[in-house]
């Protein structure tokens, strides 16, 4: 079956499922492949140089709680750079299509589980009540005081004068700013108002930290309460957890799968070959394939 036949068959599936005012229940699993066309550095540490190194620091040096405790200035300089780079990128057409689907309430009952931290879902207009950011967000900050629950989503750049990434984003020709005081880093305003000084930290999930249980619970509740008709695998693969677990759950519950990625996923292809699960593969740039497949449905 050629790609155009696959698109037509998939669109017929969507139309048939939404006849007579019905809604299609959809779970979307999103990875770095969706943001790649926007020019965003992938969500894992160190991908700037392709060898897990940034200025001779490995991801272990930068993305753990121990690293933050021992050198918060270095960790904040790195994440300030990632925030700055993400803000320079724009949501691509793939983000926009997924956002439209999240707001297409008369036809779609969608929940998106994203592994991306770049904030592009929010900036594309994705319904926030239908978005679970499993790895956190570069634009969330939270207090390190265990007795304080301060948390905020902010696009402010830079967060402090010392974290102005424009002064050191050229890693080959500039030195990192010198930070000698905690006062030069983001501090919790609530603790300051109480006469205490506690750092804010990036609101991302570091290595060694567990995924928030409340997010996993929300995902599980959505699957349990809805008979999932369709699983969208966008820019991620069966080899990435928790993508793999949700793929198997939807398959076992009789849902169909549509893959949007630059390469075919051999593990998902095995599902197609060994079960009755229908699998569509739309191979290519997600910012192109998602609009090509969904635009006519969205506009119908």
- Residue found by looking up tokens 């696959």 in the block: 6
286 is in an annotated binding site: no
Q: How many CB atoms lie within 10 A of CB 99?
A: 22
The catalytic residue positions are 135
Tokens at 187, concatenated = 């501090």
Task: Judge whether 120 and 93 are in contact, CB under 8 Å.
Answer: no
Q: Provide CB contacts within 8 A for 196, sequence distance 6+.
A: 145
What lies within 8 Å, CB to CB, of 4 at 6+ separation is none
Tokens of 277: 């699960």
The neighbouring-strand residues paired with 141 are 152, 202
Nearest to 45 by CA among 36, 56, 53, 34: 53
148 annotated as a binding-site residue: yes
Q: Which ranges of the chain does DSSP label H, i.e. alpha helix? A: 3-17, 32-35, 59-62, 65-70, 72-88, 93-102, 120-123, 189-193, 213-225, 243-252, 266-274, 286-298
CB contact at 8 A, 81 and 24: no
119: left (phi over 0), alpha (psi -120 to 50) or beta: left
Strand-pairing partners, residue 30, are 114, 234
Q: Indicate the annotated binding residues.
A: 143, 148, 188, 191
Q: Indicate the annotated binding residues for Zn(2+).
A: 143, 148, 188, 191
């Amino acid at each position: 079956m050629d790609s155009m036949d696959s698109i037509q068959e998939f669109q017929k599936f969507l139309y048939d499922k939404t006849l007579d005012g019905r809604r299609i229940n959809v779970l979307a699993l999103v990875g770095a492949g969706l943001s790649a066309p926007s020019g965003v550095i992938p969500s894992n540490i160190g991908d700037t140089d392709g060898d897990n190194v940034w200025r001779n620091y490995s991801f272990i040096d930068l993305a753990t709680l121990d690293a933050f405790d021992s050198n918060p200035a270095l960790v904040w300089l790195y994440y300030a750079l990632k925030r700055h780079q993400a803000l320079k990128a724009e949501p691509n057409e793939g983000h926009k299509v997924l956002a439209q689907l999240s707001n297409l309430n008369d036809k779609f009952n969608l929940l998106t589980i994203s592994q991306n931290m770049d904030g592009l879902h929010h900036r594309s207009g994705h319904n926030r009540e239908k978005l679970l950011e499993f790895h956190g967000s570069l634009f969330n900050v939270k207090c390190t005081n265990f007795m304080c629950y301060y948390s905020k989503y902010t696009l402010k750049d830079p967060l402090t004068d010392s974290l102005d990434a424009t002064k050191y984003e050229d890693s080959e020709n500039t030195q990192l700013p010198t930070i000698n005081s905690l006062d030069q880093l983001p501090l919790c305003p609530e603790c300051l108002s109480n006469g205490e000084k506690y750092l804010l930290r990036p609101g991302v999930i570091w290595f060694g930290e567990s995924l928030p249980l409340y997010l996993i619970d929300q995902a599980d509740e959505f699957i349990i309460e809805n008979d999932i008709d369709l699983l969208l695998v966008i820019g991620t693969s069966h080899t990435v957890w928790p993508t793999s677990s949700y793929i198997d759950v939807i398959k076992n519950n009789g849902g169909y799968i549509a893959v949007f990625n630059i390469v075919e996923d051999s593990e998902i292809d095995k599902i197609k070959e060994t079960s009755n699960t229908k699998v569509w593969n739309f191979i290519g740039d997600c910012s192109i394939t998602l609009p090509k497949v969904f635009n006519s449905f969205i506009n119908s």
